[in-house]
Amino acid sequence: MRVLVIGAGALGGYYGACLERAGGDVTFLVRSGRAEQLRRDGLRVVSPHGDFAVQPKIILASDLEEPFDVVLVGVKSYSLDDAMAQFAPAVGANTMILPILNGLKHIDALTARFGATRVLGGLANVSAGLDADGRVIQFMANQTIVFGEIKGSLSERALVLETLLQVPGIDVRASEAIMQDMWEKFVQLSTLAGITCLMRASIGDILAVPNGEQSIFRLFAECCAVATASGFEPRAPFIEFDRKLFTTLDSPLKASMLRDIERGSITEAEHILGDMANRARVLDIDTPLLDLARAHVAAYEVGRQRISSAQ
């Protein structure tokens, strides 16, 4: 199957490189600057599982003319509109679009543009980022992709795609309940991003201060309440996993949103924290800590934009 990976950042770069290393037919849709860097240096991955590099096949949007079997979308939410316009020529009648963005709002945007039958639900659990040299840095050993049909059930095409993605460096699972999985990831990420951005600290550092743990779980409870009222009550194994995740002493875990703030970069705050808060308002659920976290990052964005405009 021919796979088009949208971008070669942290998500697309990591998973696309793993597929390329395993001999997959992978092409990366990138901008001209990133294309030049990849031609010169290759696509390099620094991983706890072992570093590696591939020489990727790349294409610019202006050269994209024919459909692919799979389009793997791993861009940031604020880049999605531009990305959809760029990869539209790659979407044919039987193309599977697999988004692994954070949150939920992007599903509506993709189905509105390309039709519900082409869009799968999906999520990625990988802690990674790009360094100053354009290398993909995998910070932790997790590397999961979960995906499935939005309406549920295991389709034949989902099983075929699961086989395609079963390569070293990717732990893949086709799901019969992908929207439940995505909602649980949404809860986890909203909690992690909200508390680490609000406190400007890792989970370990938050746990080390008075009321740190209580604050984490107040926010977690708010997000769980939104999911439950939306028809996706978090399951017991998820609750247990996140309780361990958020009580690990000395944990260096922080949200990528906080790393964006530390770099002075744009964030996905409205796509994650804003969307969760908006859903809470519609459902008449009180979420004071979530609202504070949203306002905190929004205030950062106002300052960042002011500085950017002045430069």
Angle value at C-alpha 138, between 131 and 104, nearest 5 degrees:
95
Determine the length of the chain. Answer: 311
Strands 43-46 and 52-54: antiparallel
Active site residues: 185
In sequence order, what are the residues at sequence separation of 6 or more whose Cβ sits closer than 8 angstroms to the Cβ of residue 84? 109, 110, 113, 114
Measured CA to CA in angstroms, residue 285 lies from 229, 238, 293 at distances of 9, 22, 16
Distance separating the N- and C-terminal Cα atoms of the chain? 46
In sequence order, what are the residues at sequence separation of 6 or more whose Cβ sits closer than 8 angstroms to the Cβ of residue 76? 9, 101, 266, 268
Q: Which residue has the tokens 């409205």?
A: 270
Measured CA to CA in angstroms, residue 267 lies from 9, 83, 102 at distances of 15, 17, 12
Q: Answer yes or no: are the C-beta atoms of 70 and 79 closer than 8 Å.
A: no
Using only C-alpha atoms, the chain has a radius of gyration, in whole angstroms, of 19
Q: In what order do the strands lie in the sheet with 25-29?
A: 57-59, 25-29, 2-6, 68-73, 91-99
Buried b (16+ CB within 10 A) or exposed e, 154-174: ebeebeebbebbebebbebeb
Q: Given phi > 0 = left and psi -120 to 50 = alpha, else beta, which region is 203? A: alpha
